[in-house]
Amino acid sequence: MSESCLIAKLDHYVDLTVSDKDLLGKLEDEEWHVDRKHQLRDGGDEVDSLYVVKTGWLFSYTILPDGRRQVLQLHYPGDIVGIPDLAFEHATTAIETLTGGCLCPFPKKALDEIFEQSPRVTALLFSIGMVDHVVLLDRIRAISRMSAMERLAHFLLEIQSRLRITDKDIGAEFELPLSQDVIGDAIGLTNVYVSKSFARMEERGDIRRDGRKIEICREDELRELCDFHDRYMRIDTSWFPEDA
């Protein structure tokens, strides 16, 4: 078994036992390679499978009645995509790849074994779900109440802090494989205004851009600008059950 990003991500938060790792490893038995711009599923599709992201980025979105698109979530290596659809027979969002990559599909039922065998891993998955929840609340706050530039700053910082979990030594610079169209659809702006906001941030010296590389030059100022909080760094594991 090659090194798993999912296990790496979870291991960031607690020390997993060998049997925990075995349990999680089963989710990655099967491997799929997918191209860039491949649509995994469409909203409304009948689905029973989730995917562990091994490499590559994806995003989920929905289309509004007038044809516009709302990007809802980005998915990185180590994430499980499709989890929100656990509760539904039909997909609530469409999912598409942003880059080529490798995915590991598994059926919903595979979670049973985790719930049955390891309360500790269960608590961890539950907690990570809550982290994602709080990240969404932060995003609602940004979209609902902040200016275009603040929203964009928040978006970039959120991505950076997520990347740091699975990629310890990400510095100020990282690759952002998103068109300005996608960014706009994620934070409720048009591609035009995203471009203008990027230009302003660059003028101010907050960031630098080179193609799709982004460098965050003044992280502290940007954090203050959009009142950003890193939700990924640490979680409270004090209440977790011991493994049997």
What would the two tokens of residue 160 be?
């950076």
In whole angstroms, what is the distance from residue 59 CA to residue 49 CA? Answer: 16
For residue 107, the partner it binds in a copy of itself, DNA, none, with Cβ less than 5 to 8 A by kind, is a copy of itself
* Cα pseudo-dihedral 35, 36, 41, 43, rounded to 10: -170
Among DNA, a copy of itself, none, residue 211 binds (CB under 5-8 Å by kind): DNA
Which window, 31-39, 97-105, 118-126, 158-166, contacts a copy of itself (CB under 8 A)? 118-126
Decide if residue 227 touches a copy of itself (CB under 8 A). yes
Give the 3-state secondary structure of residue 137: helix
Rounded to 5°, the CA angle 158-160-163 comes to: 110
Residue 148: C-alpha distances to residues 181, 186, 188, 203, 234 (Å): 14, 12, 9, 15, 29
Question: In the range 156-175, which residues lie near DNA by CB under 7 A?
Answer: none
In contact, 122 and 116? CB cutoff 8 Å: no
- Answer for which of 12, 21, 69, 196 binds DNA (CB under 7 A) is 196
CB of 96 to a copy of itself, least distance (A): 16
Interface residues toward a copy of itself, by CB under 8 A: 48, 62, 64-65, 68, 70, 72-73, 83-89, 92-93, 107-109, 111-112, 115-116, 119, 122-123, 125-134, 136-137, 139-141, 143-146, 187-188, 224, 227, 229, 231, 235-236, 238-241
